A = this chain, B = another copy of it.
């Protein structure tokens, strides 16, 4: 995995200058990537579906609405089902089935993790399961090794990749990392954002956030019941005991870090990676009571207050850009890192309904687990108020961010699989905006042709989760793999070897399996998924008892296994 590849085939629509050092002659745009943890597709008032759903009315998110009206709404944006897979795919431009980072990373190098479902795990011995029990495969438990040139550090069970942030930094960008990383384990170079290409890091690294929490009153976990959590967010001591919610603290740190590059006229890249709205579900006291007053149960109200905190953070970022007079030369990208968590009882409401109409949530290869909110704003370049319906996936961020930063043909140790979205976002959005739509459903149906966007609208979108997520069985989450092409989505349930087909154009909720009606489509998608999993040498579970690897979808279909 140490060969050197270049990003061939990227189209560069504009003559970006690869200037560096002398900031004043530099007109490259600033870039902000605002990533929200566990952010559900229906968590904001911005509708990402063909219609506005009741779920869109739950949380007050005026800043997301305002950004959506000023930028493009990507209605078919995908992440991986869980955090580390998405984050490492963004970082390297490689699908998680290929990085082999298919599960959340533990804190320490080589440490066993409960997610690994070892053979002797009590919850993996449920004999009543149709199809029997599976065991998790070996995967890249140490995350990404940034493959620093000349660095002899060898890391086992890691994906070697050149991070996009290093390429941006080496091109002169002032790269800032604020918040959650979750790319690699402690004891390996990747655990430090400084090794991933960031000039500045605040609060990123190895953090056991669920034990730390959002409360400055608790020093974000640094003093918890009289003792400290081993992995707390760094560089935030100034907020200890001050009543500053974590979401607000990170926002303030982000804006502070931009002071230097703005003053020095150096183009910056800000990765503001909010820990919200991940567990623990704790109220943001600025907004909590309002949602209780609306009749939400306490869990729902807590979660709602967390979402609104993120909305306010986004609003502060956008206001800051205007105040500094750099809003027109700044690309702002908002995204979720996986589907909304629909399995957490502390969120209140009814489990697995939070992402409706999408099926399931975080952890699942059904749409609720992988389809995420995504907005892009770039005044004058991205047409305002546009729907972009072309499917995109997290690994696309790698070539896209580099294109935005004017980085041409970078050398990388990995072969990048993500597709450059630059033309889609610029030329594509402008084409879409020129269409006169009678209604939202019509706009939702408009397809930006590949000739304009460089992206085949029927491209394959692969999701892969060869593990069990929780210490109990979750049939619609554990051991799934899926592939989408255009309207069609194939789900492979590895436990039972079932292949399900859904027509997303009519059934976005994946309620009606139409595999029996379209054997040709099933066959095509099963073949495409199998091809990729084989090429990626993707981690595949093994069958308890036989020890055999689960068959590929095409083998199931052909009855060869």
Interface residue ranges, A against B (CB under 8 Å): 20-25, 108-109, 169-170, 172, 174, 186-192, 194-195, 199-202, 205-206, 219, 222-223, 227-231, 234-242, 253, 256-257, 260, 263-266
Q: List 22 A-B contacts (CB under 8 A).
A: A21-B24, A21-B264, A186-B241, A187-B242, A189-B238, A191-B237, A191-B238, A191-B240, A192-B236, A192-B237, A192-B238, A194-B202, A194-B235, A194-B257, A199-B260, A200-B200, A206-B237, A219-B230, A227-B227, A227-B230, A228-B229, A264-B266
Which residues of chain B are within 8 angstroms of A264 by Cβ–Cβ distance? 20-21, 172, 266
Contact pick for A186, options B108, B192, B240, B260, CB 8 Å: B240
Q: When chains A and B are docked, how far (Å) is the Cα of A10 from the Cα of B206?
A: 46
A406 to chain B, nearest CB (A): 15
Which residues of chain B are within 8 angstroms of A242 by Cβ–Cβ distance? 187
Q: When chains A and B are docked, how far (Å) is the Cα of A219 from the Cα of B109?
A: 12
Contact at A256–B186, with CB atoms within 8 Å?
no
Contact pick for A23, options B21, B170, B223, B236, CB 8 Å: B21
Q: When chains A and B are docked, how far (Å) is the Cα of A265 from the Cα of B172?
A: 10
Q: When chains A and B are docked, how far (Å) is the Cα of A206 from the Cα of B194?
A: 20
Given contacts A187-B237, A205-B234, A227-B230, 16 further A-B contacts (CB under 8 A): A21-B24, A21-B263, A21-B265, A22-B22, A170-B263, A172-B264, A174-B260, A186-B219, A187-B242, A194-B253, A195-B238, A199-B199, A199-B200, A201-B235, A219-B230, A227-B228
Contact at A241–B109, with CB atoms within 8 Å?
yes
Q: When chains A and B are docked, how far (Å) is the Cα of A235 from the Cα of B192?
A: 7
A409 to chain B, nearest CB (A): 19
Which residues of chain B are within 8 angstroms of A241 by Cβ–Cβ distance? 108-109, 186-187
Which residues of chain B are within 8 angstroms of A223 by Cβ–Cβ distance? 230
Do A187 and B260 form a contact, CB below 8 Å, given A23-B22, A194-B202, A231-B222?
no
Q: Which residue of B lies closest to A195 (CB)?
A: B238
Which residues of chain B are within 8 angstroms of A228 by Cβ–Cβ distance? 227-230
Find the residue from A170, A188, A189, A264 having the highest chain B CB count within 10 A: A264
Contact at B24–A238, with CB atoms within 8 Å?
no
Q: When chains A and B are docked, how far (Å) is the Cα of A185 from the Cα of B192?
A: 25
Q: When chains A and B are docked, how far (Å) is the Cα of A172 from the Cα of B263?
A: 8
Q: When chains A and B are docked, how far (Å) is the Cα of A260 from the Cα of B260?
A: 14
Which residues of chain B are within 8 angstroms of A189 by Cβ–Cβ distance? 238
Contact at B202–A237, with CB atoms within 8 Å?
no
Q: When chains A and B are docked, how far (Å) is the Cα of A227 from the Cα of B227?
A: 8
Which residues of chain B are within 8 angstroms of A109 by Cβ–Cβ distance? 240-241
Q: Which residue of B lies closest to A219 (CB)?
A: B186
A92 to chain B, nearest CB (A): 18
A200 to chain B, nearest CB (A): 6
A263 to chain B, nearest CB (A): 7
Contact at B240–A187, with CB atoms within 8 Å?
yes
Give the top 9 A-B pairs by smallest Cβ distance, nearest first. A234-B234, A186-B237, A228-B230, A228-B228, A191-B237, A186-B240, A187-B241, A192-B238, A187-B240
Which residues of chain B are within 8 angstroms of A222 by Cβ–Cβ distance? 230-231
Contact at B21–A205, with CB atoms within 8 Å?
no
Contact at B172–A237, with CB atoms within 8 Å?
no
A211 to chain B, nearest CB (A): 11
Which residues of chain B are within 8 angstroms of A237 by Cβ–Cβ distance? 186-187, 191-192, 205-206, 231
Q: Which residue of B lies closest to A205 (CB)?
A: B237
Which residues of chain B are within 8 angstroms of A256 by Cβ–Cβ distance? 194-195
Contact pick for A188, options B187, B238, B257, CB 8 Å: B238
Q: When chains A and B are docked, how far (Å) is the Cα of A132 from the Cα of B192?
A: 54
Q: Which residue of B lies closest to A264 (CB)?
A: B21
